[in-house]
Amino acid sequence: MDLNHIFNTGYEVLFIAFTGIIAAQIIKSIVFLITKRTLDVRLFTTTGGMPSSHSAGVMGLSTSVGLINGFNSIEFAIALGFACIVMYDAAGVRRAAGKQAACLNKIIMDIYKQDLVEAGGKLKELLGHTPMQVFAGAIFGVVYALYIHSLLSRLV
């Protein structure tokens, strides 16, 4: 199997970023299954939860850029800056929006006496991540990128 067209290219970076997101979503579903003892397939396509797939994706992307172009390159600096913004958003802005949605849902339920359809439906509350979920996703992304890059280097 010839992987020369993938190894140390933008294709490797994209492959690591996207498969890292998918792997984190699978892990998130498994963690939920273990902790809640119920299978929720919708969790695979939703935001929030442990680990953060956003963090895994952007840190996998950043790490692979660093491995390919060097950790002192401008490309790595841009990728890491992008990753920091995404992770800050996941733990800050989106988490705050989720807390506001929970408050609004409670208010709507009190006003409409449990009839959320009349009010336009329930707002999604699980939008962001705790700092630990973001950190776990970031660590997973780095380790995943190191593993895939190492695996590809042995296969080439």
| Domain identity same for 61 and 102 | no
In a domain, 80, yes or no: yes
pLDDT of residue 156: 80
pLDDT of residue 43: 66
Residue ranges in the chain modelled with pLDDT below 70? 1-2, 42-48, 93-98, 112-129
Please report where in the chains the tokens 């797939």 appear, as a residue. 53
Closest alpha carbon to 62 in 79, 40, 81: 79
Contact 129, 55 (CB under 8 A): yes
Between CA 113 and CA 124 the distance in angstroms is: 19
User: Structurally, how many domains does the chain consist of?
Assistant: 2
In a domain, 148, yes or no: yes
Contact 154, 69 (CB under 8 A): no
23 token code pair:
């792997």
- pTM equals 0.79
| Domain identity same for 59 and 111 | no
In a domain, 36, yes or no: yes
| Domain identity same for 43 and 55 | yes
How buried is residue 36: exposed, middle or buried, by Cβ count under 10 Å (0-12/13-18/19+)?
A: exposed
pLDDT of residue 5: 83
Per-residue pLDDT of 121-138, as tens digits, reads 666 655 566 888 889 999
Collect all residues with Cβ–Cβ distance below 8 Å to 82 and sequence separation of at least 6: 58, 61, 62
pLDDT of residue 128: 64
| Domain identity same for 108 and 138 | no
pLDDT of residue 32: 79
How buried is residue 13: exposed, middle or buried, by Cβ count under 10 Å (0-12/13-18/19+)?
A: buried
| Domain identity same for 50 and 104 | no
| Domain identity same for 139 and 82 | yes
pLDDT of residue 110: 73
In a domain, 65, yes or no: yes
Between CA 64 and CA 71 the distance in angstroms is: 10
In a domain, 2, yes or no: no
pLDDT of residue 109: 73
Q: Which domain holds residue 36?
A: 10-86+131-155
How buried is residue 104: exposed, middle or buried, by Cβ count under 10 Å (0-12/13-18/19+)?
A: middle
pLDDT of residue 143: 98
